[in-house]
């Protein structure tokens, strides 16, 4: 067990170094520059053979994922091996590999410079070269819209290539705004004209690679981060691009509303350029040198939202990599760089809701009990509103060891907790899988309230649609002793986690080194 733990820590460290190299702007260029440098700290990683997991020559033991299945599969599969492989294919880089393998050419070029369109199964992901889109009809649509499936008509998307009409028709079966690109790609037609800078059919020619996004509710962190997660996943599905992690791309949001979201800074992890929407091009015929139609937030058997996941498994490498990618690109400092103290305490963060429903009625009593605990926790209460800077939110979350909150979109912050952290969904309000599954996908320890005798709802709750009783539409009081018992279990997990212990030893070494330096200077 000790050897396995040491190997796990070693692999985790190598993986952390790998992500720091690979998510830079131009992977191959940066790797070569590192190889030629005498001072590059990642040089020892370059020749290890580490890989993401979807490459054809990537052995499983060198892949990014640390997924494992300590729990019962509850009849999903017939063996442990099958359980793990199912999890990898459903929720890890195996999902990326399946998307890559399912890609087929819908419209093939017959000569240099012609168009190309290729898509994965059910048109969930598509990408093309030298594509034509006709937005002239949009000028007549005065009201702003989103989630419309009639933006394009027959012939308003196309290219000069040989179209496989039967294949396109057979794949265009998921007809829903956020399930696939079928509502748009089904109208693809062959053009007689070349699509390039000189083409008379192009009022505008876009040279930069452009990712065209249909997004979920931007006001809700859970739903909007499904957009960001699937965009990140799509960077991997688009893996043959020489600059797959470049920020010099366009993002075109497939709606006419002006984009507003407290989480909007997250786009800067993907692009350095201003966001565009359909109003940007209304009345024009637009041609794209490279266009990507990424994976969507509500795909059937997609990933993240309402995903059926085999029981008993956790720690998706894909979710882990997404977390590190966002934190790196938004320049959120690492915990060991901001916690230089002699005796670190386990840091508890309680996310308070200033809403009509799902408030903690005895919140102050719970906070007081935590502060009086003999375990001497460091306790903080926060409210995250639409005015709270999102980078500030991430800094606080990334400093947290135990994250406590009621069922709600704010728990999506768990994606950005340290690897050793625990999340305590104080009460799941009957929605038992949503954040429990998100936590196990991210590899974060999860706990929730189980003894219903020791919580007290304010009333039965009243659903706003039908007025019927509903657990999500009331407020709650919690037994203090039971609350502390569950927090202590979460603290035990944190204190015994190898990554937490490694972080503490690193802090102690840094602190000791600083003390020695000060004594030498005296």
Q: What's the pLDDT tens digit per position in 166-197?
A: 999 999 999 999 999 999 999 999 999 999 99
Show the domain range for 31. Answer: 16-48
DSSP letters of 444-504?
A: -EEEE---GGGEEESSS---TTT----TTSS-EEE-HHHHHHHHHHHHHHHHH-HHHHHHH
* Residues 126 and 234 reside in one and the same domain: yes
* Residues 340 and 251 reside in one and the same domain: no
* Residues 115 and 249 reside in one and the same domain: yes
Helices (H) and strands (E) in the chain — how many of each?
14, 18
Can you say whether the dihedral through the CA atoms of 364, 365, 370, 374 is positive or negative? Answer: positive
* Residues 419 and 483 reside in one and the same domain: yes
Q: Which two tokens stand for residue 432?
A: 């038992």
pLDDT of residue 466: 79
- Is 440 contained in some domain? yes
* Residues 235 and 365 reside in one and the same domain: no
- Is 319 contained in some domain? no
* Residues 133 and 214 reside in one and the same domain: yes
- Is 155 contained in some domain? yes
* Residues 235 and 132 reside in one and the same domain: yes
- Is 214 contained in some domain? yes
pLDDT of residue 48: 73
Outline where 291-382 has alpha helix (H): 317-329, 363-371
pLDDT of residue 513: 55
Number of compact structural domains in the chain: 3
* Residues 278 and 400 reside in one and the same domain: no
* Residues 281 and 341 reside in one and the same domain: no
**Which residue has 């509502």 as its token pair?**
183
Write out pLDDT tens, residues 329-355: 999 998 765 555 557 799 999 999 988
Among 246, 269, 293, identify where a domain stops: 293
- Is 65 contained in some domain? no
- Is 39 contained in some domain? yes
* Residues 167 and 226 reside in one and the same domain: yes
- Is 321 contained in some domain? no
Outline where 178-258 has alpha helix (H): 182-185, 221-237
* Residues 127 and 44 reside in one and the same domain: no
pLDDT of residue 522: 32
CA-only gyration radius of the chain, Å: 25
Q: Which two tokens stand for residue 271?
A: 């692009």
- Is 221 contained in some domain? yes
* Residues 37 and 105 reside in one and the same domain: no
Residue 371 sits in a domain of what CATH number?
3.40.50.720
Residues in the chain with pLDDT values less than 70 = 1-33, 41-45, 240-242, 336-342, 507-522
Question: What Å distances lie between residue 153 and 128, 133, 150, 210, 230, CA to CA?
Answer: 18, 10, 7, 21, 26
Q: How far apart are CA 59 and CA 388, in angstroms?
A: 43
């Amino acid at each position: 067990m000790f050897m396995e733990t040491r190997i796990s820590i070693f692999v985790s460290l190598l993986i952390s170094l790998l992500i720091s190299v690979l998510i830079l702007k131009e992977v191959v260029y940066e790797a070569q520059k590192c190889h030629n440098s005498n001072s590059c700290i990642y040089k020892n990683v370059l020749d290890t053979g580490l890989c993401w997991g979807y490459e054809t020559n990537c052995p499983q033991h060198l892949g990014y994922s640390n997924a494992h299945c300590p729990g019962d599969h509850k009849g999903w599969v017939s063996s442990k091996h099958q359980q793990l492989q199912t999890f990898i294919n459903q929720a890890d880089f195996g999902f990326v590999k399946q998307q890559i393998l399912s890609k087929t050419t819908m419209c093939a070029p017959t000569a240099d410079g012609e168009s190309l369109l290729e898509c994965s199964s059910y048109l969930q992901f598509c990408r093309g070269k030298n594509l034509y889109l006709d937005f002239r009809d949009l000028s007549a649509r005065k009201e702003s819209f989103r989630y419309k499936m009639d933006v394009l008509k027959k012939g308003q998307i196309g290219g000069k290539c040989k179209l496989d009409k039967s294949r396109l028709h057979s794949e265009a079966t998921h007809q829903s705004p956020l399930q696939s690109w079928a509502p748009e790609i089904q109208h693809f037609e062959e053009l007689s004209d070349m699509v390039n800078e000189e083409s008379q059919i192009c009022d505008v020619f876009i040279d930069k690679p452009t990712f065209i996004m249909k997004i979920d509710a931007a006001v809700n962190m859970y739903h909007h981060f499904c957009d960001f997660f699937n965009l990140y996943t799509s960077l991997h599905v688009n893996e043959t691009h020489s600059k797959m992690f470049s920020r010099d791309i366009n993002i075109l949001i497939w709606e006419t509303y002006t984009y507003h979201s407290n989480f909007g800074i997250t786009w800067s992890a993907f692009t350095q350029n201003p966001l565009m929407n359909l109003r940007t091009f209304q009345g024009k015929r637009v041609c794209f040198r490279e266009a990507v139609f990424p994976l969507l937030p509500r795909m059937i058997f997609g990933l993240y939202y309402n995903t059926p996941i085999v029981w008993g498994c956790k720690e998706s490498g894909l979710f882990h990599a997404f977390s590190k990618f966002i934190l790196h690109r938004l320049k959120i400092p690492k915990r060991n760089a901001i916690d230089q103290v002699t005796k670190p305490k386990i840091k508890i963060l309680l996310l308070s809701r200033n809403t009509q429903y799902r408030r903690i009625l005895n919140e102050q009593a719970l906070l007081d009990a935590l502060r009086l605990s003999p375990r001497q926790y460091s306790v903080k209460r926060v409210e995250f509103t639409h005015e709270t800077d999102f980078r500030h939110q991430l800094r606080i979350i990334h400093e947290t060891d135990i994250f406590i909150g009621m069922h709600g979109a704010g728990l999506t912050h768990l994606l950005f907790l340290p690897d050793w952290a625990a999340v305590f969904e104080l009460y799941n309000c009957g929605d038992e899988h949503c954040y429990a599954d998100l936590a196990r996908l991210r590899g974060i320890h999860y706990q929730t309230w189980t003894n219903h005798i020791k919580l007290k709802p304010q009333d039965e709750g009243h659903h706003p649609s039908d007025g019927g009783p509903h657990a999500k539409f009331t407020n709650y009081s919690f037994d203090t002793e039971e609350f502390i018992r569950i927090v202590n279990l979460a603290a035990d997990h944190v204190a015994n986690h190898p990554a937490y212990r490694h972080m503490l030893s690193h802090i102690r070494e840094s602190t000791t080194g600083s003390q020695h330096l000060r004594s030498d200077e005296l």
